[in-house]
Structure 1
Amino acid sequence: MIQDLVLSGLVNRLAHNYRVVCFDRPGFGYSDRPRARIWTATTQASLFAKALDQLGVRNPVVLAHSWGTLVAIALALRSGYTVSGLVLVSGYYFPTSRIDFWLMSGPALPLLGDLMRYTISPIISWAITPKLMRTLFAPRAIPPKFKNEFPISLALRPKQLRAAAEESAFLIPAAAQLQLQYRDIRCPVRILHGQGDRVIEANQSRRLHEALPRSLLHLVEDAGHMVTYADTPGIADAVTALAPCCNAGVRKGPKPNST
């Protein structure tokens, strides 16, 4: 959700020099996720391309974390919309055997999933959230600001549980589909991953770096999946390196765009 990036400090840090546009992906935060569409990474990229166009955002640097990295890649691959660069953080890019993703997709099932989301799923989610949060931030502790201000109740509503479950089911197929197109990415790419990530192994980012000739890889020591908190300055520097006029000491005129 947007609150995640705001609490990490990335938004304020980047907003000093750039126009920053943040999106909740469909079904997360206060956004809708209509059932009439299958919200694959490519479908979400199409939605964001239209939104960015309506906002007058041209040639943005696209920063994405975790599942969102696949959406960012799909946006970069989209014909008719150009991005200046990608900053991909803690992403999953190649299909592997992950039974945990399939187990988490239960609330997305028709009928049975609806019943689960309005009965047992919120209770189970409340119970496992503390351990899940520790796993996300491990090997570091959960930052006090996140612990005190992140809206857990918003994340555990039935609507968002369905969105999260659907994306658990879509993750491996999305990576399998997009991996065939990685070499078609023409913009420069910065890849960051925590070496101690217990959710998505750092080898995912190593493999992507090998597949993308124009990429740079930075593995963050003593950091887990939430490397956005562990190395906020490093991620901001990656955006700056790709943004237009990034070397200007004092920027004049319109601010470059970052999403």
Structure 2
Amino acid sequence: MTAKLRSPHTPSPSGNATTLAATAVAVAGAATALWVNHRARVAEREHPPIGRLIDVDGVRLHFLERGAGSPVVLLHGNGVQLEDFIACGLFDRLAQRRRVIAFDRPGFGHSSRPRNHMWTPGLQALWLGKALTQLGATRPVVVGHSWGALVAMAMGLQVPEDVGGLVLLSGYYYPTARLDVPMNLPAAVPGVGDVLQHTALPILARAGLKRALRRMFAPAPVPADFLRTVPRELLVRPRQLRAAAEDTAFMIPAVTQMRREYARLRVPLTLFTGKDDRIVDPAAHTVRLYDELPRSQLRVASGGHMVHYAAPGEIADAVEALSVASAPKRLTVV
């Protein structure tokens, strides 16, 4: 029997299968990316900025401002945007007595996040400080939730003379192990992350969003109107997912460096935590920071990580107390 020789130019069946599989994956990825980017454009058209835009050294920052009096600045946590403070009612409460400025942090909502910077808490604090100077907001009380608490803390450490007080909510202050950090690292790496953010991640984010929100709000239920006030489609856009992944990746290195500076903090400080927080352990972070800073005040509220939903009145009162304490005293000459 004569063996039939294969031409060196004839692809093998396994090679054909591999090529077809690779082609199918590429086509599926391209189709997904087109759909994801279409949904992002639609979301931004249907949910335009609700506030104003300001340019700070080439970075576009979106903020909402209301009220009059001494200024209060609100900095949201990871993954959301300034509407979070509207949904919980804190923005409107504060605006009854103070000038309130809520920012979309870089990369979230309608604020930009140029790729030529590493947006650590310190760098975000620097840019937001420049924005406040442009807006003429002098010695504000800065309220930060979760990741926003790190940015607020950085502002108090960088320019304490420019900050009237800090109210930190459910913050992460010390390097402790977190499962979400290694899970988010691929999405934070340029190149690989860009592919993931335009294909698999938006789909996974949509599928897991309600579960993630339940964990954030637990043991309280997720407010029924949360995703109407904080639009879901803006939360799952590629650029917002990139910002969230980068913030998660920066978290442990940031607090590893910042913890060495806590002892020199001289800004009046009130700490809030939810006693049932399932995202950030209250004892390992908020209570520990309170013990380290004897001049700070501690408020333990019912509820979980979203403490600004559980205790907006108490937080507004704490802001008011710091606003009054930091207001310039009028000298009366008799």
TM-score using structure 2 length: 0.72
Partner residue, 1:47? 127
Report the structure number with the largest CA radius of gyration.
Answer: 2
1:42-81 aligned at under 5 Å gives the runs 42-79=122-159, 81=161
Percent identity reads 45
Of residues 235, 248, 253, the one that matches 2:315 is 235
Q: Mapping of 1:76-225 within 5 angstroms? A: 76-79=156-159, 81-203=161-283, 204-221=285-302, 223-225=303-305
Letter paired with 1:42 = G
Quote the offset at 1:99 in angstroms: 2.8
Residues 48-91 of structure 1, C-alpha deviations (whole Å, 9 max, x = no match): 11000111111110000000111101101113752111000010
For 2:301 and 2:160, locate their aligned partners in 1 and report how far apart those are by CA, in whole Å.
Answer: 34
CA contact (8 A) 2:167 2:318 kept: yes
Q: Deviations over 1:206-227 (max 9, x none)?
A: 0110111211111112x01111
Q: How far did 1:105 drift?
A: 2.9
SS in 2 for 1:134: helix
Query: Residue type matched to 1:220 in 2?
Result: A
Query: Displacement of 1:147 after TM fit?
Result: 4.0
- Residue 243 of structure 1 aligns to a residue whose secondary structure is helix
Q: What is the RMSD of the two structures over their aligned residues, measured on CA atoms? A: 1.4
Code of the residue aligned with 1:119 in structure 2: it is T
Higher relative contact order (CA 8 A, sep 6+): 1
Query: Shift of residue 183 of structure 1?
Result: 1.1
Question: What TM-score, normalized by structure 1, do the two folds share?
Answer: 0.92
Is the partner of 1:53 in helix, strand or coil? helix
CA 1:127–1:215 in structure 2 vs 1: closer, same or farther (change >3 Å)?
same
Instruction: Mark the CA change 1:43 to 1:2 in structure 2 (over 3 Å): closer, same or farther.
Output: same
Of the structure 1 ranges 141-150 and 158-167, higher mean CA displacement relative to structure 2 is found in 141-150
1:250 maps to what in 2? none
Letter in 1 for 2:247: E
Segments of structure 2 that go 5 or more residues without pairing to the other structure are 1-80, 328-334
Distance 1:234 1:158 in 2: 36
Tell me how far apart the structure 1 counterparts of residues 96 and 249 of structure 2 sit (CA, whole Å).
38
Decide whether the 8 Å contact of 2:164 with 2:326 is kept in 1: no
Please name the residue that 1:16 is paired with: 96
Aligned mates of 1:149, 1:14 — CA distance in 2:
18
The secondary structure found in structure 2 opposite 1:205 is: helix
Q: CA deviation at 1:246?
A: 8.7
Moved beyond 6 Å, runs of 4+: none
Shift of 1:240: 0.7
Moved more, 18-27 or 91-100: 91-100
Check conservation: 1:60, 1:84, Cα contact below 8 A: yes
Output one character per residue of 1:22-62: Cα deviation in whole Å (capped at 9) or x when no partner: 11110000110000000000000100110001111111100
* Counterparts of 1:80 and 1:188, CA distance in 2: 10
Native 8 Å contact 1:75 1:81 kept in 2: no
Give distance in 1, aligned partners of 2:164 and 2:99: 14
